[in-house]
A = this chain, B = another copy of it.
Amino acid sequence: MPEIEVFPNPAAQRDYLIKHVCPEFTSVCPKTGQPDFATIELEYIPDESCIELKSLKLYYYSFRNEGIYYEAVTNRLLDELVEACKPRWMRVTGIFNVRGGISSVVAAETGPRS
C-alpha cells in the first residue's frame, strides 16, 4: 500500500469541510474475478493534517487489482484514511456501478454507534 501523505492544516483554528470526489475507483470482485467500478466520495473535517491530493489518487489506484467486496472496501478506506490524517470527523461513500441490474451505495463515517 502506498503511503497516504498529509500536510499541515492551514486553518486548524476552525472546523471546515473538505470533500474529494473520485469517479475512477476500480477493484476486483473476489467471487467472479471481474472488475468493479465506483465513485468514492471522501468528506472530512481536518484536525492537524490534510490529505495530499496526489497521494490520495495513488492510494485509490493501489486497489486496482485487489479482490474485495463493496462493504469491506468502504470500511477499509475509512479506517486507513482516518489512520493517515486523524481528522475531527470523516465519511467515506462508495457509489458502485450496476451489477445484475442493481446499483449499490455504502456509506460509513467516524463516531460512536447511534
Contacts and interface: CB of A to CB of B under 8 A. Distances in A.
B9 A71 contact: yes
Nearest to A33: B61
Interface residues of A, number: 49
Interface string A1-26: 00000000111001111111111101
Given A11-B108, A16-B74, A69-B10, A21 B103 contact: yes
A17 B108 CA distance: 6
Contacts of A14: 75, 108, 111, 113
Contacts of A22: 101-102
Interface in A20-77: 20-24, 26, 34-35, 37, 46, 50, 53-54, 56-57, 61, 64-65, 69-72, 74-75
A84 interface: no
Interface string A70-90: 111011000000000000000
Given A35-B61, A71-B10, A98-B98, A104 B21 contact: yes
20 contacts: A10-B71, A11-B75, A16-B108, A17-B107, A20-B103, A21-B103, A21-B104, A21-B105, A22-B102, A23-B97, A23-B101, A24-B37, A34-B100, A35-B61, A53-B99, A54-B100, A56-B102, A57-B100, A57-B102, A98-B98
